[in-house]
Copies of this chain bind each other. A is one copy, B any other.
Amino acid sequence: MSEIIDSTPKIEGYRMPAEFEPHKQTWMLWPYRSDLWRNGGKPVQRTFIKLAETISQFEPVTVGVSQNQYLAARSKLPNNIRVVEMSYNDIWVRDSGPTFVVNDRGNVRGIDWGFNAWGGLNGGLYWPWDLDNLVPQKILEIENIDRYKPENFILEGGSIHVDGQGTLLTTEECLLHPNRNPHLNKTQVEELLKEYVNVEKIIWLKKGNYEDCTYGHVDILSAFIRPGVVVLHWTDDKSDPQYEISADAYERLTNATDAKGRKLEVHKIHGPTVSYVTREEAEGIDVLEGSLPLTEGMRLDQSYINFYMANGCAIVPTFNDPQDKEALEKLQKLMPERKVIGINGREVVIPGGIFHCITQQQPLGIRQNLI
């Protein structure tokens, strides 16, 4: 059961913990759509398995898989990974899944946001998205976790980051985009975030990465690695439209204070060489009515910032790029408390997200702790 609670997390003393707080497990959804994943999903499945296996060395992993791929996924994934049947439109559980909140007693609840495939009929990436919209309920019901369900509020988990101490990081481009919540102004969006995520301070960046298909998700541009410390996707190439975006974000971040009144420590992480969808990649993807075609020459949203922090590790996408080494070393230096691991993210990034986008942490609550 997952009862809908007619209240808000703030009223009831729940808050969204930071990703670097302890997890009970990680949720993922198995890729297979031939119009989003090249060659019937087989290449990306290899990356997915590697990612899931790696996370499962640090914390439990549950993978949702649709009926038609159940046997394939179950046989390919190692036995220590839990596989549950679930239908979904695609695998971006960071965005379609629930946001978990906890209270000081260690109880856990979920937020079942509205989801419209990053823009609905006004620029969304595919249609329909009905099954994605049910993912939070299905995950929470499996876990017997009750949920909050804000009305008329579209939000993807990848469009916000929190420090767990009252600060939220997001972008104006995404949260104020007319294809999400055109009925809400900035003040109203802030009020809803404060009410549901239960934060006191919102740091607004202007835009997400250049040509980011989500219209500006923060989680591929900037991230908290601990309270008071953020990393930022960076380029020194002033001819790249990304430069202006990263520079503006740098300025906003260095001038910001968090909910505790701290100035932020900002670390630039230089991105890899700009890369594009190849002809071979594009030819392996079905072009179907109902989803945005992925074509040769599209710019890939490559960034090391879209890493995922599980208990004791951070898994960072790499791109077989000379910049990989520096990024991994710098992130490891910045997070000495966790093992930084690189996994090639090329197959995931083609439709537009990387490892953070396809994972969702479920925080450790007291009830789970006892099991």
The residues of A with any CB-CB pair to B shorter than 8 Å are: 1-4, 60, 66-67, 70-71, 74, 79-87, 131, 134, 137-138, 141-142, 144, 367, 370-371
Name the distance in Å between A115's Cβ and chain B's nearest Cβ: 16
Q: Which of B80, B144, B367 contacts A1 (CB 8 A)?
A: B80
Structural contact, B87 and A67, CB atoms closer than 8 A: yes
Name the distance in Å between A33's Cβ and chain B's nearest Cβ: 15
Structural contact, B79 and A1, CB atoms closer than 8 A: yes
Q: Which residues of chain B have C-beta atoms less than 8 A from A142's C-beta? A: 84, 142
Q: Which residues of chain B have C-beta atoms less than 8 A from A87's C-beta? A: 67, 70, 85
Q: Which of B1, B81, B85, B370 contacts A370 (CB 8 A)?
A: B370
Structural contact, A138 and B81, CB atoms closer than 8 A: no
Name the distance in Å between A65's Cβ and chain B's nearest Cβ: 11
Name the distance in Å between A70's Cβ and chain B's nearest Cβ: 7
Structural contact, A85 and B86, CB atoms closer than 8 A: yes
Name the distance in Å between A311's Cβ and chain B's nearest Cβ: 17
- Known A-B contacts A67-B67, A370-B371; the reply to A1 vs B85 at CB < 8 A is no
**Interface of chain A: mostly helix, strand, loop or mixed:** mixed
Could you say how many copies of this chain the assembly holds? 2
Structural contact, B70 and A141, CB atoms closer than 8 A: no
Q: Which residues of chain B have C-beta atoms less than 8 A from A80's C-beta? A: 1, 3
Structural contact, A84 and B141, CB atoms closer than 8 A: yes
Q: Which of B67, B138, B371 contacts A84 (CB 8 A)?
A: B138
Name the distance in Å between A345's Cβ and chain B's nearest Cβ: 26
Instruction: Output the nearest chain B residue to A367 by Cβ-Cβ distance.
Output: B371
C-alpha spacing A66/B66, complex, angstroms: 11
Instruction: Output the nearest chain B residue to A56 by Cβ-Cβ distance.
Output: B1
Q: Which residues of chain B have C-beta atoms less than 8 A from A85's C-beta? A: 85-87, 138
Q: Which residues of chain B have C-beta atoms less than 8 A from A82's C-beta? A: 1-2, 141, 144
Instruction: Output the nearest chain B residue to A78 by Cβ-Cβ distance.
Output: B1
Instruction: Output the nearest chain B residue to A60 by Cβ-Cβ distance.
Output: B1
C-alpha spacing A67/B130, complex, angstroms: 12
C-alpha spacing A371/B80, complex, angstroms: 22
Structural contact, B83 and A141, CB atoms closer than 8 A: yes
Q: What would 9 A/B residue contacts be, using CB atoms closer than 8 Å?
A: A1-B79, A1-B81, A3-B80, A67-B131, A70-B87, A70-B134, A82-B144, A85-B87, A85-B138
Name the distance in Å between A54's Cβ and chain B's nearest Cβ: 16
C-alpha spacing A60/B141, complex, angstroms: 13
C-alpha spacing A67/B85, complex, angstroms: 10
Name the distance in Å between A110's Cβ and chain B's nearest Cβ: 14
C-alpha spacing A66/B144, complex, angstroms: 19
Name the distance in Å between A190's Cβ and chain B's nearest Cβ: 31
C-alpha spacing A71/B141, complex, angstroms: 13
Name the distance in Å between A146's Cβ and chain B's nearest Cβ: 10
